[in-house]
Amino acid sequence: MSDVAYQDAPATAPSQSPLAHRRIPRWAPAGFAVAAVALGCGIGAGAGLASRLQWGLISLLLFIGLTYAITAGVEGRRQAKDRVATSLVWACFVVAVVPLYSLLQTTISKGVKVLDGNFLSHSMGGVITTQPGGGVYHAIIGTLEQVGLASLIAVPVGLLTAIYLVEYGRGKLAKVVTFFVDVMTGVPSIVAGLFILAFWIIILGFGYSGFAGALALAILMMPVVVRSTEEMLKLVPNELREASLALGVPKWRTILKVVLPTSIGGILTGVMLAVARIAGETAPVLLLVFGNQLINNNPFSGAQSSLPYYVYEQYTNGNDASFDRAWAAALVLIAFVMILNLVARGIARWKAPKTGR
């Protein structure tokens, strides 16, 4: 086998070339793939296996086996392992892309069916759930208000906490805060919802409202804002701070006038991403805002709806007209989140800190 010659090459310097191995041609991996798929389908059809998945699995196994056997014969075992690893990595990619592609494709193709101006400008008031019609206007209002309120609470707290950790934080308190910010990142959204339920609704006796939902969303948002802001503040070169301090500028003005403006792009990006994340949260809304078929513009009193809640509600209605509405609302929600993401990325690119990678 060629790898024997290969191992001995440096010691004995054999007469024939030690560097050039026999290699399989470049088209070979593609060839193996085609052969494996053909064989797999052949076996599948021949044995009358119903599931396409089986065909795929057989093809995959054949492909890996074929690659290993032939490469090991021609190029040696190390090369064969390398090729198998490459095939596996490609396989991972394919395996993951299929469901994710299907998710987006299904949502878009089913969502556009009922998505029109009417859908965006009407609520579900007076609509019989088994009939087509109605829209998401009330849910969009709810989402915007709840997310807006949550941001109003979470962004200042998050920003200031990050400033504390980066600019002032030394000693025990900072360590404890850092630790609990991490812990807070992992709090499931339904637990945050339960907490506000226990605290705001059961103990303090307030009713269900958009604001109660916003409180829970704020809890989910804070640690994300702290984390991203912290990262951005740490990117600001220390020379800038020192330059400002050396001019006799007080520390707080240095932070406001030098540090924050330098990192504002990154901070905004982080905030937008955090907003995008909480805009899709359903569980707290389910527990705290309660859902509403009608338009309720006041987030401080009475039940509201929200886009993710609306999707869930239509799904649980369990009929085709509702499913159509659910897909359309899901598409609106995805579009909303994606736009926020794209804007965030745009800001990041536009105002990238000079020290960024």
Partner 1 sequence: MAKRIDVSGLSAYYGTHRAIEDISMTVEPRSVTAFIGPSGCGKSTFLRTLNRMHEVTPGGRVEGKVMLDDENLYGAGVDPVAVRRTVGMVFQRPNPFPTMSIYDNVAAGLRLNGTARKKSELDGIVEKSLKGANLWNEVKDRLNKPGAGLSGGQQQRLCIARAIAVEPQVLLMDEPCSALDPISTLAIEDLIGELKERFTIVIVTHNMQQAARVSDRTAFFNLAGVGQPGRLIEIDETQRIFSNPSVQATEDYISGRFG
Partner 2 sequence: MDIVNTSGEHPPPSRQPAVTRPGDRVFLGLSRGSGILLLVIMAAIAVFLTVRAIHAISLDHSNFFTTFEWNASLTPPSFGIAVLAYGTVVSSLIAMIIAVPVSVGIALFITHYAPRRLASPLAYLVDLLAAVPSIVYGLWGGLYLVPHLQGLNLWLNEYLSWTGIFHKSDPSSAARSLFTVGILLAIMIVPIITNVSREVFRQVPRAHEEAALALGATRWEVVRMSVLPFARSGIISASMLGLGRALGETMAVATVLSASPVLSLRLLDPVGGTFAQNIAAKFAEADNFGRDALIASGLVLFVITLLVNGAARLIIARRKEYSGANA
Q: Residues 4 to 23: which contact partner 1 by CB under 8 A?
A: 6-7, 9-11, 13, 17-23
What is the C-alpha to C-alpha distance for residues 336 and 129, in angstroms, rounded to an integer?
25
Taking CB within 5 to 8 Å according to partner kind, which of partner 2, partner 1, none is near residue 118? none
What is the C-alpha to C-alpha distance for residues 228 and 277, in angstroms, rounded to an integer?
13
Smaller CB separation from partner 2, 148 or 234:
234
What is the C-alpha to C-alpha distance for residues 33 and 36, in angstroms, rounded to an integer?
5
What is the C-alpha to C-alpha distance for residues 162 and 114, in angstroms, rounded to an integer?
44
Q: Residues 313 to 332: which contact partner 2 by CB under 8 A?
A: 315, 323, 326-327, 330
What is the C-alpha to C-alpha distance for residues 299 and 211, in angstroms, rounded to an integer?
5
Q: Residues 136 to 175: which contact partner 2 by CB under 8 A?
A: 156-161, 163-170, 173-174
Smaller CB separation from partner 1, 70 or 157:
70
Give yes or no for a contact between 195 and 226, defined as CB atoms under 8 angstroms apart. no
Smaller CB separation from partner 2, 62 or 273:
273
Give yes or no for a contact between 120 and 135, defined as CB atoms under 8 angstroms apart. yes
Min. distance of Cβ 183 from partner 2 in angstroms? 6
What is the C-alpha to C-alpha distance for residues 217 and 315, in angstroms, rounded to an integer?
23
* Per-residue contact flags (x/-) with partner 2 for residues 77 to 116, judged by CB under 8 A: -xx-xx--xx-xxxxxx-xx--xx-xx--xx---------
Min. distance of Cβ 10 from partner 1 in angstroms? 5
What is the C-alpha to C-alpha distance for residues 356 and 224, in angstroms, rounded to an integer?
20
Min. distance of Cβ 352 from partner 1 in angstroms? 21
Min. distance of Cβ 292 from partner 2 in angstroms? 14
Per-position DSSP letters for 108-143, written without gaps between them: HHHHTTT-SHHHHH--STT--TTSS---SHHHHHHH
Among residues 37, 78, 142, 353, the one that binds partner 1 under rule CB under 8 A: 78
* Per-residue contact flags (x/-) with partner 2 for residues 178 to 207, judged by CB under 8 A: xxxxxxxxxxxxxxx-xx-xxx--xx----
**Chain contacts with partner 1 (rule: CB under 8 A):** 3, 6-7, 9-11, 13, 17-23, 77-79
